[in-house]
Amino acid sequence: MHHWIIDASRGSASLSAADATRVVASIGSEERTALAAAILEIARRRLDVHRCTIYGYEGERSPRLLSGAGSGDAWSVFRTAARYTREFWHHDGIRVAIRERQPSIPACSRRAPPARLLLQRQRSIEIDHPDYRAACYESQHVAERATVVARTARDCWVATHLYRATSAPGFSAAEIEAFEGLAPLFAACAVQHYAADVDGEAAYRGTVSEDIGALCPDLTVREREVLLRLLDGLTTERIAADLDIRPTTVVTYRTRAYEKIGVRSRRELFARVLRRHGQAPIAG
């Protein structure tokens, strides 16, 4: 797997009026295929790719699919994304790339577009985890993936993935150069879409992710994942299904995390998070 950083000023994409209108109109759309479909259409004129997904990576939470589209059956994209976010994202090489490159990439926002971007190229044969490789690449006829990542907060990232089919040869040097030219456009659109997501839910989730880590750095990844979902209001059964573990295991993680932080309930945990921001706990 190979990853590198580019300056967003290197963008060299030129769009037709129709492409520009479509991609701008798709930002913030409630239709989950809209932005990914617009980006895929633009990308396919320069790269041999057959699907696109856009994810929000927020601390130790499972990533969220913000938009997805593909040639043919769109439901296949969403089914694969559901398995990826539930079972395999911990094995994705993009996490290694983010950890290694994080100090070099400043955060951006809707008003301050990305200045530097992280790019990654991940081939199916480079994935060590066999189930991840089989479920998200081989069974979906994906040979490799090109990704552009923008940082939106200290521990929040938005990634746009473009996938190449096994029927095509590997990305050529010319295609990678074309991808670098398109990357700033795709990243800027994804960041705008993320910022518009669910009336600020993305920003709230990112802040809470940071708060949980600050409250107790000794929490394990699973303990954080359970606490974050509890704060989102999910039931024990829903958390178990989301993380593919038993409900009793969820209770064990919750109990251990509460003990480490020094709280006894979700309400006390929520109050701790609010106090970090100088807010009074909600009565009742």
Token pair, residue 130, equals 């066999």
Domain ranges within the chain, ordered by starting residue? 2-197, 216-276
The SS3 of residue 133 is: helix
Q: How far apart are CA 243 and CA 60, in angstroms?
A: 12
Q: How far apart are the first and last CA of the chain?
A: 52
Question: What is the third-level CATH fold of 216-276?
Answer: Arc Repressor Mutant, subunit A (1.10.10)
3-state secondary structure of 139: coil
pTM of the model: 0.73
Please list the pLDDT of the chain residue by residue as tens digits (284 residues): 899 999 988 777 778 888 888 998 999 888 889 999 999 999 999 999 999 999 999 887 788 899 999 987 778 899 899 889 988 998 999 999 999 998 899 988 777 888 999 999 999 999 999 999 999 999 999 999 999 999 998 888 999 999 999 998 889 999 999 999 999 999 999 999 988 864 444 444 555 666 777 778 888 988 988 888 887 777 888 788 778 889 999 999 999 999 999 999 888 887 787 676 554 444 33
* Fold agreement (2-197, 216-276): no
Given a contact cutoff of 8 angstroms between Cβ atoms, the answer to whether 8 and 184 are in contact is yes
**Superfamily for domain range 2-197:** Transcription factor LuxR-like, autoinducer-binding domain (3.30.450.80)
